[in-house]
Amino acid sequence: MFTIRPASLLCMNMAGNYNPPADHQQSVKTIRTAFENGVRFFDTAEVYGPYTDETLVGEVLQPFRDQVKIATKFGFAIDGAVALDSRPERIKKVVEESLKRLRTDHIDLYYQHRVDPNVPIEDVVGTIKDLIRQGKVLHFGLSGASPKTIRRAHAVQPVSAVQSEYSMWTRNVELNGVLKTCEEL
């Protein structure tokens, strides 16, 4: 007999993005149970809640921070507007806020949540590269990026992860070149 252990926990729905927020104590129990069962990678974002999901993840994982990896995301204007905002000055501001909410001195994997067409990807990645040099971020990822954007970003700073929808309902990454680009890089 063998045991299958889950690799990661996406904490998004605890903050209620697609549904009402989950009960706080139930969310705490879910994250702790995941950790107790071998999960060591937890995924969140500043926009989930907004902010409340990062706060929850930071609260629950603080006692185990040295044993887990945390991914979070930036890139939305969270000011009542429905917009993207990956300007370098905003990234520098929101990384500090995420670090505080997550109760940590570094983010293991920092994703650009959605590519901002108003900011050259080279400017975004240059800012992340500086955060990596400072030790605030360890790895950079892209979510929902095209092959062209992945290549442009990777030319500035290695892209460690690409997050794309890939399921029984959509196999677009097989057709649009994202998987091929990731394999090549």
Q: Residues 119-141: pLDDT tens digits?
A: 999 999 999 999 999 999 999 99
Question: Does the annotation count 48 as an active-site position?
Answer: yes
Which domain covers residue 54, as residue numbers?
A: 8-184
| Distance (Å, whole) CA 7 – CA 5 | 6
- For position 80, what pLDDT does the model report? 78
Cross-strand bridge partners of residue 9: 42
Return mean pLDDT, the chain.
94
For residue 166, the model assigns a pLDDT of: 86
Residue 37 lies in a domain: yes
In a domain, 95, yes or no: yes
Residue 167 lies inside a defined structural domain of this protein: yes
Q: Tokens in use for 172?
A: 């677009």
Q: pLDDT tens digits for 11-63?
A: 998 987 778 899 999 999 999 999 999 999 999 999 999 999 999 999 999 99
Q: Is residue 2 part of a domain?
A: no
Q: Is residue 69 part of a domain?
A: yes
127 is a domain residue: yes
**DSSP at 64:** G
Kindly calculate the radius of gyration of the chain based on its CA atoms and give it in whole angstroms. 16
| Domain containing residue 27: CATH number | 3.20.20.100
Instruction: Please count the structural domains in the chain.
Output: 1
* Per annotation, catalytic residue among 18, 48, 51, 111: 48
The answer to whether residue 3 sits within a structural domain is: no
Q: Supply the DSSP string of 88-123, one letter for each residue.
A: HHHHHHHHHHHHHHHTSS-EEEEEESS--TTS-HHH
Predicted confidence (pLDDT) at residue 6 exceeds the cutoff of 80:
no
CB atoms near residue 179 (< 10 Å) = 17
Phi and psi torsions of 173, nearest 5°: -65, -20
Query: Of 20-24, 94-98, 102-106, 176-180, which range is least confident?
Result: 20-24
By the 8 A CB rule, do 119 and 83 touch? no
